[in-house]
Structure 1
Amino acid sequence: MSEATHPANVVIVDHPLVQHKLSRLRDAATSTAGFRRLAREISLLLAYEATRDLKLEDVEIETPLERITGKHLSGKKLCFVSILRAGNGILDGMLDLVPSARVGHIGLFRDPATLRPVEYYCKLPDDIEARDCIVVDPMLATGHSAVAAIDSLKRAGAGTIIFVCLLAAPEGVACLAAAHPDVKIITCAVDRELDDHGYIRPGLGDAGDRLFGTK
């Protein structure tokens, strides 16, 4: 992974498999089915990085040959929080890696007058304050939706929060870092800029549309 030239709270996952799959995601010729499959594969690899600092404890186990001291996860448990709708496109790959994790959903839409996110749905585990939260959304563009979702999580009592996305724009990174400097951002790349329509450039288009085959 790499953090060079980016803020300290940003981790770029530059593993060759991630970068290879990201290039295929960017390709306009990639089909909906192919895009969905690649997003799931990349999300599993991103989840590997997002869970790097989980605590371990010793446990005694019997192998087929002898008794040893192994390692199990200890302490807080995980919750993946998907920002609807596109977040669901990278949620499944993370659940492949950590199938016991709880799942929360936060639905947001952009008010056409203020251009600010408005929450229309929020469902979180009752014990959210006892869980490490990994928020997932394919794109960190303006950063406003990510900030609003994390605001909701913190109001609910969440403590440790990590934000995971496929792509980020410098504007989104700056917005999220300013509002929540304690939240680590894990992504495959920070692209050049946002255009006048709020799309990440060069980007990969609208992740939700490409995941679900909509326009």
Structure 2
Amino acid sequence: MQKIVLASNNQGKLAEFESLFAKANLPYTITPQGKLGISDAIEDGLSFVENAIIKARHASNASGLPAIADDSGLCVPILGNAPGIYSARYASLIGGEKSDAANNERLLKELLPHRKDVPIAGKFVCVLVMVRHANDPLPIIAQGEWQGEILAQLQGDNGFGYDPLFYIPSLGKSSAQLDKSAKNALSHRGQALAKLIQYLRN
């Protein structure tokens, strides 16, 4: 089994990666960078792709192993695609705490002036980058998008991040009301991972 470093210590992301890789029966094990004593990279890119590449190269350079990085977030067109790459620290940008609850609270406040009789569209975006070594000139890049609507109040207790506010009209549920297997089959990260796994199989 070849070890791949996951350039994240987010337990929700780690669980999704491990589950999908296990189902794919690939000869790789996923190790979060924290277990190897690797610090977080400085994410100073201006796009999901740039930040994912920065994180993957950083983890690979520190470990000497192949690395996978995920940069993902929620994009709301009516807010100019905010919170976007700042999704994980949306509230802290204005002095709030860095937490899911604070981020969700800020998003709801930002959307208040836009609440009308029509749904507010939003989408989760995930960009996955895998580098075989730190200076890999041809990173594997896979992207997934999950279209939905932004609720006016939290619904559901599963998932993490903005899941309780992300509504899937075709299911009549929020992302936080889905079980893990249903979410993995539909989500932006699930889509991107499926593309990455398909590449690794070839």
The structure whose RCO (Cα within 8 Å, separation 6+) is larger is 1
Q: By percentage of residues, which structure has more helix?
A: 2
TM range (shorter): under 0.3
Q: Compute the TM-score of the two structures, normalised by the length of structure 1.
A: 0.25
Larger Rg: 1
Q: By percentage of residues, which structure has more strand?
A: 1
